[in-house]
Amino acid sequence: MPEIECVPCYLCGSTDWRERYPATIPYEEAAADWSAYRCTSAGYGLHHTIVQCRQCGLVYTNPRWLGGEILHNYEVVEDDLYLQEREGRVLTFRHHLQPLQLVTGPPAGRRLLDVGCYTGVFVEIAADAGWDAWGVDPSSWAVGEARGAGLQVVEGTLASAGFPAEHFDVITMWDVIEHVSNPAFELREAHRLLRPGGTLVVHTMDIDSLFARTMGRRWPWLMEMHLYYFSQATLRQMVEQAGYQVISSAPQGRYTRMGYLVTRVRAFSRPVAWVMGRVVEAVHLQEVAVPINLGDLFTLYARKTPWAAESPAGPD
């Protein structure tokens, strides 16, 4: 069984926290293997103790598996369901690219890096749009899939990938920052790799959204694989501390195929999913894309400021 660790708040350094949501799985019975770390993991509602920093308000999982154990889980993850749901992600990322280019300007061969790119769906869409698009991911299975599709993807983390400093015009992190053991370190690493004035894009869940607050402990994103539950305020603060100026921060949903949505609804209510499934089938809506925006996912855009960030402390 992997070791667990207690961590301080990576936003303000305080160790003064209160329990926000008690653990729903005992540590000795937790899924200490990769099945809980798949992108399409259905482990909604299963998580360790989630605490909130009394000083700055950051919400995070504590205690948790040692950082290295968590990374190892991502290195060995395999997820065929993700490939099946590729369509929904293609649609989501196409919709994400338009507002992104309003901030960054046209691609024109400029260099973009997608962190935690997994099988490279966003890398491919960005490359098709004209970016010199790169990706980095710790999962060797996912990197193999991406490379097989001819994409420029490196296996590893931002710190281990060996990219030169000030190499990229844009760095994106789609649904990644909530998974890493030290998000402040990742943001500083991205800062090192961005050229001055380059753009950082971070998409994650919002624990302070109306939907999250209404759902409370039943909010579906409370999951074992999520180590950080940012709000727009706590993410903005961490990004600014890492040497960026925030350009904008606003809710941004995702797209999914009706057919896939039915399979997800089934996890909550079989009768509702059955009725939905019949309707979707009867009028041939399986392949239709629907926007889902409950206001609990958001995208933050920031610019690397000319002044230097603090020098990175270690990954933990």
Residues that bind Zn ion (CB under 5 A): 9, 11-12, 14, 53, 55-56, 58
Q: Which residues contact 263 (CB under 8 A, 6 or more apart)?
A: 273
| Residue found by looking up tokens 């949903």 in the block | 253
Q: Minimal CA–CA distance to 30: which of 73, 86, 93?
A: 73
Q: Where are the beta strands (DSSP E) in the chain?
A: 4-5, 17-21, 50-53, 59-61, 64-65, 111-115, 132-137, 152-155, 168-174, 194-205, 228-229, 244-251, 254-257, 289-292, 297-304
Using the minimum distance from each CB to Zn ion, give the nearer residue, 9 or 200: 9
> Shortest Cβ distance from residue 13 to Zn ion (Å)?
7
Q: Minimal CA–CA distance to 123: which of 156, 89, 166, 157?
A: 89
Cβ neighbour number for residue 81 with a 10 Å cutoff: 13
> Shortest Cβ distance from residue 184 to Zn ion (Å)?
11
Q: Which phi and psi angles does 255 have, rounded to 5°? A: -115, 145
Residue 276: exposure state from Cβ atoms within 10 A (0-12, 13-18, ≥19):
middle
Using the minimum distance from each CB to Zn ion, give the nearer residue, 59 or 205: 59
Report the C-alpha gap between 52 and 96 in whole angstroms: 30
Using the minimum distance from each CB to Zn ion, give the nearer residue, 283 or 313: 313
Using the minimum distance from each CB to Zn ion, give the nearer residue, 62 or 104: 62
Report how many helices (DSSP H) and strands (DSSP E) the chain contains, helices first: 10, 15
> Shortest Cβ distance from residue 57 to Zn ion (Å)?
7
Using the minimum distance from each CB to Zn ion, give the nearer residue, 38 or 188: 188
Using the minimum distance from each CB to Zn ion, give the nearer residue, 14 or 293: 14
Q: Most distant CA pair in the chain: distance in Å?
A: 59
> Shortest Cβ distance from residue 12 to Zn ion (Å)?
3
> Shortest Cβ distance from residue 311 to Zn ion (Å)?
21
Residue 7 structure tokens: 């961590």
Q: At what angle do helices 232-241 and 183-193 cross, to 10 degrees?
A: 50
> Shortest Cβ distance from residue 7 to Zn ion (Å)?
11
Using the minimum distance from each CB to Zn ion, give the nearer residue, 58 or 190: 58
> Shortest Cβ distance from residue 58 to Zn ion (Å)?
5
> Shortest Cβ distance from residue 52 to Zn ion (Å)?
9
Using the minimum distance from each CB to Zn ion, give the nearer residue, 102 or 313: 313
